[in-house]
A and B are shown apart, each in its own frame.
Chain A
Amino acid sequence: MPSVNFASILTSLRSRTYTTRLPLFTRGVLVAILAFWIAGIQSLWDVRAWGGLAPDQVGITTLYRLNTFPFIHLNIFHALMNALALAPLLERFESEHGTLTSLALFFGPLTTIPAFIYLFVEKFILRSNTSVMGASMWIFLLLGIEAIRTYRVNPYFVISTYNIPTWTSPLALLVVIAALVPSSSFLGHLSGLIVGYICGLGYLKFLAPPEKVLRWIEARLNLLGRLPYYISIDQKTYGRFGVLPSSGSPSRAGALRLRRDPRILKLPPYLSLLCILVGVVWLFLLPLDEYSRRTYISENALLPGQVHTYFGGSDQNVFRAYKHEVNSLVGKSNVEINDKLESIVKGLGLKAGRQNFTYRSAGRVYSGENLYAILQAPRGDATEAIVLVAAWENAKEELNRNGVALVLTLARYFKRWSLWSKDIIFLVTPDSIAGPQAWVDAYHDAHDSARVDSLPLKSGALQGAIAIDYAKEGRFESVHVVYDGVNGQLPNLDLINSVVSIAGGQMGMGVAIQEMWGHNDQYPDRLRTMLRGMLKQGLGLASGPHSSFIPYHVDAVTLQPFGDGWQDEMAMGRVVEGTFRSLNNLLEHLHQSFFFYLLMQRERFVSIGTYLPSAMLVAANFTIMAIALWVKSGQPESEAEPVKKEAGSTDSEEMTRPTVERDLFLPLGVVTLCQFLAVVPLYLFNHAPESMLTPTFTIFAIINTALPHALSHLLMTYYTPSAQQYQLIKSFSLLLLGMFLSSLATLNFSLAFLVGLLASPLTFMRPWPQSPAMRIACTVLLNAVAPTAVLVTAALAWHLDINTVLREAAFAWDVCGMYTPVVVWCVWWPAWLAGSVTVLGRPEVGKKKQKMT
């Protein structure tokens, strides 16, 4: 394994040196894997069937399978993963034993023995016939060898006096892989691992071809001269790890040893990158059938679509009448509208109430009056309630004529039933965001009485809410279910499922989510749906009248008819009726099903257990790097120098070197300063009036680019920090970042994932004392992923002007309490600032100055 500090792999040069230093056999294997995958793309010759290790296919004539199966993979991900994992391991093995030996071993015993073991067990013990393929067997074999070697160097991880033998680590990996990766052959991996252990313990050395023969071959063919990247038998170094295998070396107490072990120190950057890659790949795997599940109703009381719905018939006449009333109100003032509507609902024998609200945000005033009517459950007691919302204007500020008329008609219809076990509240709000927010806040007495009036009459605990957004005129084809709430909170999946099964199953109309008007249940569409959902969730904006209910643990959705079909308003009403009948059945508050999920399609979802790892991995990469930097900073300066000699220099005498003392106060100060500076943009963008938003933003963006330079200049002039202190600065800021993100991932997965992804370059930033070019390049890169830059880019991408974006953000922050700005300015921005300061740092300068003074 090459011992460059991974930070430099960003540069093309270093990365090329890495790839170019791969020895011959390794390259061969990788190329073969690639080739077989390419060969597998075309359909006339099924490579997998040809080369896979299928127990019943293996006969005398088809023994080639024993050697071909490692090169053949199921799909690109399989191949990619295996190649990634195999390359370093195999490279080490080869550069240790020489190319010829590896060739001999890997086309001989090291492949066939596990294959035979597998065949034997699979065929004669398990008596089943599952075909295996892929290089993962090799990976485990090599891991086994490595594990035994590590075990000889340091036998135990000591975790607070618990000794865990290091050779068990591949076993853990084996179990994890078998648990996580579907259709992975536990048996195949295990057989590989066993052989690896045996080989590592040195019992298979007799299989290695005698050295004399190999030397002879080498000498005669002058392979060394002819073949590039060829590793001769004489070059191979046993001692490249500073210890001879199984030379009864004094076993040292694990963690300390392990911590100073150079290989471990080289590992973290790779690990971080791997985390990010796996996290992203993981996300893209989710839409596959193996990972996503079909939805199902887990609250049995709901019984969606089990009741016959009677809404229709002469109610249509009533609907038309109410439609006339509503039309006559168009253009009237909010109060006039409410006067008319109140007289109607009072006429129906409902109790009506009104509520004024006035919000101020970004210099604008959002005010209006909500009207709501309570249908008291006959025989019921005011303990529970369901809400039916219709905003006078929907989120796109179209007039919701049919919605309001439909609500009135439904109120009259529901009044006739005696089966309601919960009160039904009909709520008509002037707009789609502020009105419902004001009403829900006041209902739960969480309102600021200066801006929002209290409610004159109340009912019991809200059990659910349905909002109708029916601005479309004429007949429609299918229903669009909008479900994301403020701050990316989601309603209980059971609610969505029941709406889907009532509208789709019972009424026979289509159901769409996330504005995917047409959805063929294939990978691309699923992926698009999921990504749209994640983006909405990540932004955390209110997407409809239902959004404000969800933070109060009231499950709510908005129903929007769309498309041209033969469904009329009555059908829409029947959907609402069916849903209300289902909610009416509820005994307990919805708690059974999922609250954390990503929907791929209306009947396919991924639950938190499956998708959380991707965000957690992205967050973990920061933490890994932070820990690594901490450990590294604990080592003597020369060791911590980023520029490294080639392998071999890091030898065993450094292992006994004591950790140097760390100077914590400057780094802590810098990180705290960055965190506190974050209050400034947060305050600015939430309190600036609308006219000032764009100028403020421009000025801030300019300052933002200059700030790191100023800071690092101050730092270097006054404190002359050392390389160690820069490492610590980075370590602390990364630690904070990782911490915030992993906490955030539980609250708002998508936001955490997006921010983590955008901040991932920070992991690999470091001072560039020597090369100013690198410094400039990194600075440019950082400025490209700065929060401000990203904001502008996103605005351009969606054809919004920055003013609207900021105004919306301020509005959501003031009214709905959306915390996305906090995350951007108080989590991401400080980390970015610290990162840029680190990049601009020049520790050497500092040291020279110290020497001078």
Chain B
Amino acid sequence: MDGGKVTLGRTAGLYLGAAVLRLALFTLFPGLADLLTGRVEISTPVTSFKRLQEGLFLYDHNVSPYDGGVYHQAPLFLPLFSLLPSLPIFTYLLYIAVDILSAGALLKIADSGEAGSSALFTSPRREKRWSGFVIATVFLFNPFTIATCIGRSTSVFTTCAILHAIAKAVAGAPFGAMVALSFAAYLSMYPLLLLPPLLLLCYDRQPPESAIKPGVQSAATNILVVVGVLAALFQMSYFITGSWEFLPSTYGVQLTLSDLTPNIGLWWYFFIEMFDSFRSFFLAVFWLHLSCYVGGLTIRLRRQPLVVLTLLLGIFSIFKPYPSISDASLFLAMVPLYRHVFPLMRYTFVIAAVIMYTTFLGPAFYHLWIYAGSGNANFFYAITLVWGLGQSLLVCDLTFAVLRDEWEVERPEMVGKDIRQI
């Protein structure tokens, strides 16, 4: 399976297969889409398609969708979806297209080989890697990805934007990368934290023929690009909604977690049970914790910015205010890029088992709590805890493997030996 040769035909077939599968799921099981849209594991208050519909309805009837507690998504969705013909099939096609675009970006990233050998570091094991075709397949046929697509959660747009940002950066097109990233940040805020490693990635992958610019200058220009694009987007949103009240309603909700709808993250139950006097303090702590990884990882793994991006995506999918399985699917899509360090990972089986267990136990316990009424909220909360732990174990293990891979370049004789950290 390793290093399969990617022909255009195969990729086209893959895309076609994925599209057909999704279309079949949409059309053959009409109830499935709405069922999944209602699942808390898939739709969060900031990505739910039903809330989007509501916002759209209000927008079409000239009620400000942000003057209410339901719609918390970016204003640009409104014109986009109101321009879309009202037939559901068009929505399906849009989502399928977005998924395939993401897969394309992922394929580019994989085939660039950046994961194996970056500008400053070349892994001795890089030969053992999966082709972009395989990785795209893993992404497209990952049940989480499919469920997210069928559930029509708007987080797929963020996923697409992030993947394209990385792909552009890898392709040595800083401008495109920055534009894509600012789109992602505009849609759901947290991708802004990916800026530092992305800057490094752009810097490392500058096309050699263009004169190598000093880091500071290129970083400055890139940051300027991001700021400019974001400003433009906000301006457009202002013109669309006619007021700035979308800012608190879109990003403020993520910052203050005013909507406590259950999800697979760690925040909701914590802030349900939190004493009011400490609420704001712990909000600050949680956000600080979420952002503190950026600096550390960027510095420690300076030589492999793509790894930093991957790990950060994993960390976001655990510690975001409103995570869903679509974030997990994005992270799991990036992980196979590091096929070459899998042998160095220690808990692959445990991680897989934990993730699968929680995938099955989560809905069961949620049913016990919400519908059967025989379990209480702690059931589902416990499962979200385990899910978070399993994912963090994966992140830690991947970090360990990558670092050890780096270390073995200095200490070739230690390959396969036991090591420890002091």
Give chain A's interface residues, CB within 8 Å of chain B. Answer: 160-161, 252-253, 255-257, 489-490, 551, 553, 589, 591, 595-596, 623, 626-627, 630-631, 656, 658-659, 661, 665, 735, 739-740, 742-743, 746-747
Contacts and interface: CB of A to CB of B under 8 A. Distances in A.
A746 B364 contact: yes
Contact of B416 (A161, A589, A658, A742): A658
A553 B371 contact: yes
B377 to A, nearest CB: 12
A188 to B, nearest CB: 34
A596 B375 CA distance: 9
Given A551-B372, A623-B353, 13 more contacts: A161-B396, A253-B420, A489-B372, A490-B374, A553-B372, A553-B373, A595-B372, A595-B373, A626-B353, A627-B350, A735-B356, A746-B364, A747-B364
Contact of B353 (A551, A595, A659, A735): A735
A665 B349 contact: no
Given A252-B418, A743-B361, A659 B343 contact: yes
Contacts of A160: 347, 393, 396-397
A253 B360 contact: no
A256 B418 CA distance: 8
A631 B353 CA distance: 13
A740 B360 contact: yes
A742 B354 CA distance: 12
Most chain B beta-carbon neighbours within 10 Å: one of A661, A735, A742, A746 = A746
A255 B1 CA distance: 30
Interface string B145-187: 0000000000000000000000000000000000000000000
Contact of B360 (A656, A659, A743): A743
B270 interface: no
A436 to B, nearest CB: 18
Nearest to B393: A160
11 contacts: A161-B396, A161-B400, A257-B418, A490-B374, A553-B372, A740-B360, A743-B357, A743-B364, A746-B365, A746-B368, A747-B368
Contacts of A489: 372, 374
A739 B356 contact: yes
Interface in B375-422: 375, 379, 393, 396-397, 400, 416-421
Contacts of B361: 742-743, 746
B10 interface: no
A742 to B, nearest CB: 7
B347 to A, nearest CB: 7
- Going nearest first, the 9 A-B pairs with the smallest beta carbon separation are A595-B374, A553-B373, A743-B360, A253-B420, A630-B349, A658-B416, A252-B418, A743-B364, A160-B396
Most chain B beta-carbon neighbours within 10 Å: one of A490, A595, A661, A740 = A595
B3 to A, nearest CB: 15
Task: Provide the main secondary structure of the chain A interface.
Answer: helix
Nearest to A554: B373
A747 B363 CA distance: 11
B346 interface: yes
A253 B418 contact: yes
Contacts of B360: 739-740, 743
Given A489-B374, A740-B360, A255 B343 contact: no
Most chain A beta-carbon neighbours within 10 Å: one of B350, B356, B373, B416 = B373
B305 to A, nearest CB: 24
B351 to A, nearest CB: 10
B206 to A, nearest CB: 36
Interface residues of B, number: 31
A742 B357 contact: yes
A675 to B, nearest CB: 13
A627 B353 contact: yes
A818 B218 CA distance: 64
Given A160-B393, A489-B374, A661 B356 contact: no
B349 A627 contact: yes
Contacts of A256: 346, 418
Nearest to B395: A160
Given A746-B364, A746-B365, A253 B419 contact: yes
Contacts of B393: 160
A540 B182 CA distance: 54
A595 B375 CA distance: 8
Nearest to A163: B420
Contacts of A253: 418-420
B354 to A, nearest CB: 10
Nearest to B361: A743
A747 B364 CA distance: 7
A255 B353 contact: no
B346 A255 contact: yes
Contacts of A623: 353
Contacts of B356: 735, 739
B421 to A, nearest CB: 7
A222 B122 CA distance: 69
Contacts of A631: 349
A661 B393 CA distance: 22
A548 to B, nearest CB: 14
Contacts of A490: 374
Nearest to A655: B418
Given A735-B353, A747-B368, A665 B346 contact: no
Most chain A beta-carbon neighbours within 10 Å: one of B367, B397, B416, B418 = B418
Nearest to A740: B360
B374 A596 contact: yes
B373 A661 contact: no
Nearest to B419: A253
Contacts of B417: 656
B371 to A, nearest CB: 7
Nearest to B364: A743
Interface in B323-353: 343, 346-347, 349-350, 353
Contacts of B379: 746
A631 B350 CA distance: 11
Contacts of A553: 371-374
A447 to B, nearest CB: 15
Nearest to A663: B1
A444 to B, nearest CB: 11
B35 to A, nearest CB: 13
Contacts of B367: 747
Contacts of B421: 161
Contacts of B397: 160
Contacts of B419: 253
A252 B418 CA distance: 7
B382 to A, nearest CB: 11
A60 B102 CA distance: 84
A583 to B, nearest CB: 16
A658 B372 CA distance: 49
B370 to A, nearest CB: 10
A551 to B, nearest CB: 7
A255 to B, nearest CB: 6
A316 to B, nearest CB: 39
A253 B421 CA distance: 9
A87 B177 CA distance: 66
Most chain A beta-carbon neighbours within 10 Å: one of B1, B356, B372, B421 = B372
Contacts of A596: 374
Contacts of A659: 343
Given A161-B421, A253-B420, A739 B396 contact: no
A161 B399 CA distance: 12
A663 B347 CA distance: 17
Contacts of A591: 373
Contacts of B396: 160-161
A118 to B, nearest CB: 39
A678 to B, nearest CB: 16
A312 B393 CA distance: 68
B364 A661 contact: no
Contacts of B368: 746-747
Contacts of B353: 623, 626-627, 735, 739
A405 to B, nearest CB: 34
Contacts of B364: 743, 746-747
